[in-house]
Amino acid sequence: MQDVFHYWGGEWRKPLGTLVLPVHDPAREEIVGQVICAGNDEVDAAVETAHAAFRSWRLTPVTDRVQPLFRLKALLERDFEALARTITLECGKTLAESRGEIRRAIENVETACGMPYLLQSGFNEGIASGIDEFSIRQPMGVAAILCPFNFPGMIPFWFLPYAIGVGATVVLKPSERVPLTMQMLMQIMQESGFPPGVVNVINGGRSVSEALIAHPLVKTVSFVGSSNAARAVYAQAASLGKRVQCQGGAKNPVVILPDADLDSSTAVIADSAFGCAGQRCLAASVAVLVGEARRTFGDALREAAATRKTGNGFDEVQMGPVISSASRERIHGLLSSIENEGGRLSVDGRKHSLDKGYFVKPTIVEDLSETSELLRTEIFGPVLTIVEKPDIEAALDFVNSGAYGNMACLFTRSGDAARRFRNEAEVGNVGINVGVAAPMSFFPFSGARESFFGDLHGQGKDAVRFFTNEKVVVERWPKEWSRKF
């Protein structure tokens, strides 16, 4: 059982709070750690420290600022397996999924290592006679980064390496449900040689987020989580005049045309729907079968769901448990409501022989009414709902009618249909014959409608813009003022 500490000013800090939350291994239902939530004084100390460090870090040359990032990349490679095992322990996903997550975290560090290039901006010589104009990107200040439970190793890195690279300093709050991964990552960052105060971690839940957002020295807020929380964070931060980016929830449709390749598409869609136990913001949650696809793909998806091997992520399985007993009960409750509304569970993941762990096996929902709210509700578990549509027009109408806009995918052999789909789908991330359209680190992790509040996203150049203020300089050097040389 691990205790979780805060970290600021280059030192680990024993928590002083009174609210204690357990951390579970969701596959064994055992307590593996505990979080003591920070109080306002601790939040204040962490932010003050980050602010003090900002004064000198922003003046450190960018070529020096990236050196600890290069070391961080090497140390993350060294501790790759241990990190993956920590994610599986507290989050429940399979080891292969945890490894994939750490790989994407490392890719973001690699991209941020190119900060000398990423920070370059424009220069126009002679915008008028004797006048030049250019812009410089300067760090905003202390960045608050608030993370969800489902990717404890990756999501912090959509923001953190970029904030540090541009010369900002960070106070990061991991999800109170999975704090052990960040504790290990912070140990690695400490070894990487960031000056004290540049990276700081504070633990707790919603009240700690709110205290961080409200702190006058926090200049930017980066949030990833459910849409309700994203909307609340966006409103609080905006009302205080802060720069804010909030990634929210999702309900992702995958449209399958009759010409799609049956075997490869089924495998990819099943991975998307049931991988990470459906707890991915890019999980396929509605399969829209167009025309004849309903016959072939209906059978194939049911078969893929029924045969998926579920168990402890440390074993040879394809899917682990959901995060908590509360999450499992919530999913069970939603599945019962679906049945009450006339939906049919053609594969029912509530029934299984796994006696321990927060398991829900892959589930397929069919015959749910088009008007049901449940068709639009994020379940965040291994549940795929099948709907049928006569043609691509009707499928696109369906894609664009939900509140969320995180991802939509199309499976087809037709380039023409693919071009139309990517043009008309009103979402942030589009997959064409791809089930999890997760942007690489040098593209923004996009999102639209209820899935994203703000304008600049995480990762790559968007993150660089988010953590910096672009200052424009117009300079005039009249000839007549200068000595002749």
Answer whether 163's CB lies under 8 Å from 465's CB.
Answer: no
Tell whether residue 234 is a contact of ligand NAD (CB under 6 A): no
Choose, by CB under 6 A, the member of 108, 175, 183, 318 that binds ligand NAD.
Answer: 175
| Alpha carbons within 13 A on the beta-carbon side of 177 | 19
Burial 98-108 (b: 16+ CB within 10 A, else e): bbbbbebbbbb
Choose, by CB under 6 A, the member of 88, 200, 245, 451 that binds ligand NAD.
Answer: 451
Choose, by CB under 6 A, the member of 7, 54, 57, 149 that binds ligand NAD.
Answer: 149
Tell whether residue 170 is a contact of ligand NAD (CB under 6 A): no
Which pair of structure tokens corresponds to residue 175? 């999800």
Of the ranges 47-55, 169-177, 390-398, 410-418, which one interacts with ligand NAD (CB under 6 A)?
Answer: 169-177
Tell whether residue 271 is a contact of ligand NAD (CB under 6 A): no
Tell whether residue 15 is a contact of ligand NAD (CB under 6 A): no
CB-wise, 229 or 270, nearer to ligand NAD?
229
Choose, by CB under 6 A, the member of 186, 232, 276, 437 that binds ligand NAD.
Answer: 232
Region of residue 138 (phi > 0: left; psi between -120 and 50: alpha; otherwise: beta): beta
Tell whether residue 92 is a contact of ligand NAD (CB under 6 A): no
Which pair of structure tokens corresponds to residue 478? 């009249």
Answer whether 461's CB lies under 8 Å from 121's CB.
Answer: no
Q: How far is the CB of 125 from ligand NAD (least distance, A)?
A: 41
CB-wise, 225 or 298, nearer to ligand NAD?
225
Q: Report how far residue 285's alpha carbon sits from residue 427's, in angstroms, rounded to the nearest whole number.
A: 15
- Smallest CA-to-CA distance from 162 within 98, 72, 75, 42 is with 72
Residues near ligand NAD (CB under 6 A), total: 29
Tell whether residue 42 is a contact of ligand NAD (CB under 6 A): no
Which pair of structure tokens corresponds to residue 371? 């008007």
Tell whether residue 247 is a contact of ligand NAD (CB under 6 A): yes
CB-wise, 435 or 447, nearer to ligand NAD?
447
Cα angle at 281 between 318 and 259, to 5 degrees?
Answer: 70
Of the ranges 5-13, 42-50, 202-210, 466-474, which one interacts with ligand NAD (CB under 6 A)?
Answer: 202-210
Tell whether residue 252 is a contact of ligand NAD (CB under 6 A): no
Q: How far is the CB of 132 from ligand NAD (least distance, A)?
A: 40
Nearest residue to ligand NAD, by Cβ distance, number only: 225
Of the ranges 12-20, 161-169, 246-254, 462-470, which one interacts with ligand NAD (CB under 6 A)?
Answer: 246-254
Q: Report how far residue 267's alpha carbon sits from residue 147's, in angstroms, rounded to the nearest whole number.
A: 30
Tell whether residue 310 is a contact of ligand NAD (CB under 6 A): no
C-alpha distance from residue 26 to each of 97, 178, 381 (Å):
15, 11, 14
Tell whether residue 205 is a contact of ligand NAD (CB under 6 A): yes
Choose, by CB under 6 A, the member of 24, 104, 137, 173 that binds ligand NAD.
Answer: 173
Q: Which amino acid, residue 307?
A: T
Residue 281 a catalytic site member = yes
Tell whether residue 147 is a contact of ligand NAD (CB under 6 A): yes
Cβ count within 10 A of residue 293: 25
Tell whether residue 281 is a contact of ligand NAD (CB under 6 A): yes
Which pair of structure tokens corresponds to residue 173? 């709050």
Tell whether residue 242 is a contact of ligand NAD (CB under 6 A): no
Tell whether residue 233 is a contact of ligand NAD (CB under 6 A): yes
CB-wise, 293 or 375, nearer to ligand NAD?
375
Tell whether residue 250 is a contact of ligand NAD (CB under 6 A): yes
C-alpha distance from residue 465 to each of 51, 237, 442, 456 (Å):
20, 18, 13, 7
CB-wise, 199 or 224, nearer to ligand NAD?
224
Helix (H) or strand (E) holding 211: helix 206-214
Site track for ligand NAD across 427-446, x = CB under 6 A: ------------------x-
Tell whether residue 453 is a contact of ligand NAD (CB under 6 A): no
Answer whether 212's CB lies under 8 Å from 218's CB.
Answer: yes
Q: Report how far residue 358's alpha carbon sits from residue 324's, in angstroms, rounded to the nearest whole number.
A: 6
For residue 243, with 0-12 CB atoms within 10 Å meaning exposed, 13-18 middle and 19 or more buried, which class applies?
buried
CB-wise, 366 or 378, nearer to ligand NAD?
378
Answer whether 399's CB lies under 8 Å from 254's CB.
Answer: no
- Strand order across the beta sheet in which 344-347 lies: 344-347, 363-366, 383-389, 284-290, 252-256, 407-411, 429-432
According to DSSP, the residues that pair with 26 across neighbouring strands are: none
Q: How far is the CB of 391 from ligand NAD (least distance, A)?
A: 29
Tell whether residue 226 is a contact of ligand NAD (CB under 6 A): yes
Pairing of strands 11-13, 218-224: unpaired
Tell whether residue 406 is a contact of ligand NAD (CB under 6 A): yes
Residues catalogued as catalytic = 281
Interface residues with ligand NAD (CB under 6 A)?
A: 146-150, 173, 175-176, 205-206, 209-210, 224-226, 229, 232-233, 247-250, 281, 378, 380, 406, 445, 447, 451
